[in-house]
Amino acid sequence: MLYLQDIVIVRPAKVEDEYGNEKDDWGDAATRIPVSGVNVQPAGGSTEDTEDRQVTVTGWRLYTPRGMDIDLRETDRVEAWGTTMQVIGKVARWPAPGGGVHHVEADLREVA
């Protein structure tokens, strides 16, 4: 695999709404973490029918090269090529023999 892609990990700021509930703020207050040298590939998609329209969900899979760990959490989003994707499920950090991280994998889905 070629690890030539740049992404930005977006971590939401926590803000309080008018009712005192904590909510995610994906705007200017969010933390943005640039990452270089990863690989993001299409991982299939699906079409879902809702009551009044058809929605296409595009899936992606993020990989890091051997020995590269990144600060990616299941609550983050990823930006690449003008597309915003959310992390789906747990981020997989595969162990390396002798300790550490061999590589990281994460499933992503486009955010509408």
Query: How much is the pTM?
Result: 0.84
pLDDT tens per residue, range 17-40: 889 899 999 999 999 999 999 999
Q: How many Cβ atoms sit within 10 Å of the Cβ of residue 48?
A: 9
Give the pLDDT score at 51: 67
Give the pLDDT score at 47: 57
More confident residue, 7 or 16: 7
| Beta carbons of 68 and 62 less than 8 angstroms apart | no
State the Cα–Cα distance between residues 73 and 76, nearest whole angstrom.
5
3-class DSSP state for residue 21?
A: coil
pLDDT tens per residue, range 37-94: 999 998 876 556 566 666 666 899 999 999 999 999 999 999 999 999 999 999 999 9
- Specify the pairing of strand 77-80 against strand 83-95: antiparallel
| Beta carbons of 45 and 59 less than 8 angstroms apart | yes
Give the pLDDT score at 1: 63
